[in-house]
Structures are given as structure tokens and as C-alpha cells.
Amino acid sequence: MSISEAVPVSNGALWTGRALSAVVVLFMIFDGVIKLPPLDIVTQTMNGLGWPADPNIARLIGVIGLISTALYALPRTSVLGAILLSAYMGGAISAHVRIGNPLFSHTLFGVYLGVILWGGLYLRDPRVRALMPFSR
């Protein structure tokens, strides 16, 4: 018996998972692409978070986010991408905690995105459902 046979999912759940994953992918593409050119708003925001106002550091963070997002979007590497994006979100959460940003709007945004990320992957990937079987 294969994994997909062991943990079936309805078409509605599959498409919901794809839609949730698409939200994460689109947001992360925007987040990564905006860091590539030397935009003043990006370096100012990074400075406010305690990072140096260096476009090269912003660019590196953007590339890391885009690579992790690409891995998440590809079915064969989606679990690795989800793990890397979770680490990326953890770094963002840490930066917001360190400077004392508001909890629900800024600090926990990475948690919200992580829940959507893993929820979408759970609904669209039978391997993840097999690892985390929720019983009714």
C-alpha cells in the first residue's frame, strides 16, 4: 500500500491545500523580490529591526527566502522547503521579539504564515499526512 492510498484526502481538501500553499508562495515571492534591488524602504526597515542598512545583506536574505520558497513550491522538495521557510519565519519572529514589536500584528505574523504553510502542505501532500495522522 502506498502513502497516498493510506491517507486519502478529498478533492476539496487538496485544492484548499493548494490555495493555502499558493498564498504562502505568492507572499514569499513578493518578500524575496522586494529585497533584491537596493530599495531605500527595505534597508530602512532592516535598520529598524537591528540589521545593518546594507543592500547586500537584504539581497542575501531575499535570495535565501526565494530559494526556500522554490523548494516549497516543488512537490518533490516541498517538505525541505517547508522546513527552511519555518526557519526563515523563526528568524523574523526573533527579530521582532528582540526589538519589542507588537505581539499579534508583527511578532506572530511568522507563526500565522507558518500555520498556513504547514496546513497547506498537510492538505496537499500525503507524505506529511502520513507523518502526522490526525484521527477523528
Q: What are 10's three cell numbers?
A: 478529498
132: pLDDT confidence band, cut at 50, 70 and 90? confident
Q: Report the share of the chain in percent with pLDDT over 70.
A: 93
The mean predicted confidence, pLDDT, of the chain is: 91
Nearest to 114, CA basis, from 126, 122, 103: 122
134: pLDDT confidence band, cut at 50, 70 and 90? confident
Q: Does the predicted TM-score (pTM) go above 0.75? A: yes
35: pLDDT confidence band, cut at 50, 70 and 90? very high
pLDDT for residue 3 is more than 60: no
3-state secondary structure of 52: coil
Q: What is the CA radius of gyration of the chain?
A: 17
Q: Phi and psi for 74 in degrees, rounded to 5?
A: -85, 125
- pLDDT given at position 80: 98
CB atoms within 10 A of CB 16: 16
Nearest to 125, CA basis, from 69, 67, 81, 65: 81
- 9 Cβ neighbours under 8 A, 6+ residues apart: 17, 123, 126, 129
Per-residue pLDDT, averaged over 109-119, amounts to 96
Q: What are 62's three cell numbers?
A: 531575499
For 44-59, write each residue's pLDDT tens digit. 999 988 889 899 999 9
CA separation for the pair 49, 107 (Å, rounded): 12
Q: Give 105 or 27, the one with higher predicted confidence.
A: 27
CA separation for the pair 134, 131 (Å, rounded): 10
- What's the chain's length in residues? 136
> Cα 27 to chain center, whole Å?
8
Per-residue pLDDT, averaged over 26-42, amounts to 95
